[in-house]
Structure 1
Amino acid sequence: MIQNIKHEVIEQLEKEILFGFYNANDLLETISDMFYNEENFDENWLKDEIDTRLKKHQKESLNWAKPTDFDRLVLAFDSLIKDKIIALHKAGYTRQDGEGDCAEIIEELNNNGIKVLGYCYYHTQDLERAIGDEPTLFIGYDSYNHNDELAMDVANKIVKTLETNGFKVNWNGSLETRIQISAINWQKTVDNIDYNYSRVLDILQPNIPIEDDTILNRKRKPFWKFW
């Protein structure tokens, strides 16, 4: 396994650990998928790196002030979900992924007689900005039916909810621009909680059995398939 490939692996691994959504098994699967065409890919080396770096990140997290910005973001998103605005964390890799994930869960809820007003989300590319040199998290949004008047109401509700939870929010009032959380301090460790589909369903339909679990059991797309 050549050195420059190891460097690329570590670069991606460090990002995913900072994002804080994947456990050791998820990381092994995701990163191995990224480098599926590399000969002599050393999974044992990768397992060791994952174990070492996850433990280091977990130890560092013990000194974080609570609640973290992610804790407050969860509270904000949960509040929006209760107000019938779907709010998804780490919804795919691109805007297209995020929009698609929201559309799928809106359809799932609609099939169970639950109507929503709209949705919001952030995706992996947004997280890359959030852990960057100028940490900012962009939030995509729309109404469930892409109606501009309703979308404006949804956007205003998102802004108000984020501000209520202590975030500095920038938005120019145009539906052509996304909502921006400025100076976010992204701190998260893996907790094996699904903050995406399952959380929405748990909040909005806790007493409704899900006969078709296709959505909940969908496989994560390998990174290389995003291109």
Structure 2
Amino acid sequence: MKQDIKDEAIEQLDKDILFGFYDANGLFESISDMFYDENDFDETWLKNEIHLRLKKHQIESLNWKKPTGFDRLVVSFDTLIKDKIVALHKAGYTRQDGEGDCAEIIEELSNNGIKVLGYCYYHTQDLERAIGDEQNLFIGYDSYNHNDELAMDVANKIVKTLESNGFNVNWNGSLETRIQITDINWQKTVDNVDYNYSRVLDIMQANTPIKENATQNKKPKPFWKFW
């Protein structure tokens, strides 16, 4: 196995561990998939590196000040979801991925009779900036129907919610620019929690009143049906 392949694998592995979304199995699958065409790729070496580096990261996390920036971001996004704004963590790799994921879950919510105001997300490229020297996390957003007036309301809700949870937020008020969390100290370890689809669905459904006419519109079965 060539040294340059090892270096590339370690570089990506260190990023993924800092992101904090993959467990050991997820890390192995993600990294090994990158080098599927390398005939001499050493999977045993990779498993060992994952074990050592993931354990080191988890030990370091014991000394983190709580709540971490990610903890506060989860509270912020959960609050936004309760306010009918789909909020997704690590939604794909690019802006197109993030918007596609949001559109998909908005459609599913709509099919379940739940209407939303809009959405927000950050993707993997955004996380790379957050763990880098910039330490900035950009948040993409829009209204569910791309209406500018509603999108402005959504953006203002996002900014207000982030600020109320202690984040420094930079946004110029233009719908052409994303919302920026500045000086974020990204600290997260794997916790096997789904912060995307299932979390949004669970929170939305729990905070959506059941319509009174949902059962009233159902016609009673004729008495003979019960025999």
Partners of 1:17 and 1:202 lie apart in 2 by 27
3-state DSSP of counterpart to 1:205: helix
Partners of 1:116 and 1:206 lie apart in 2 by 14
Name the structure 1 match of 2:164.
164
Identity of aligned residues (%): 83
Name the structure 2 match of 1:215.
none
Quote the offset at 1:202 in angstroms.
1.1
Partners of 2:35 and 2:198 lie apart in 1 by 29
Name the structure 1 match of 2:194.
194
Partners of 2:174 and 2:107 lie apart in 1 by 27
Name the structure 1 match of 2:20.
20
Greater Cα radius of gyration, structure 1 or 2: 2
Amino acid at match of 2:142: D
User: Contact 2:82–2:207 at 8 Å: present in 1 too?
Assistant: no
**Structure 1 segments unaligned to the other structure (5+ residues):** 209-227
Name the structure 1 match of 2:177.
177
Runs of 4+ aligned residues of structure 1 deviating over 4 Å after TM superposition are none
Between 120-129 and 28-37, report the one with greater CA deviation: 28-37
Amino acid at match of 1:149: E
Partners of 1:180 and 1:110 lie apart in 2 by 29
Partners of 2:201 and 2:44 lie apart in 1 by 37
Name the structure 1 match of 2:63.
63
Correspondences of 1:121-132 after superposition (within 5 Å): 121-132=121-132
Amino acid at match of 1:43: E
Partners of 1:44 and 1:104 lie apart in 2 by 38
Quote the offset at 1:37 in angstroms.
1.1
TM (norm. structure 1) is 0.90
**Structure 2 segments unaligned to the other structure (5+ residues):** 209-227
Quote the offset at 1:206 in angstroms.
4.5
Correspondences of 1:77-226 after superposition (within 5 Å): 77-206=77-206
Q: Which whole-Å deviations, capped at 9, do the CAs of 1:120-141 have from their partners, x for residues lacking one?
A: 0000000000001120000000
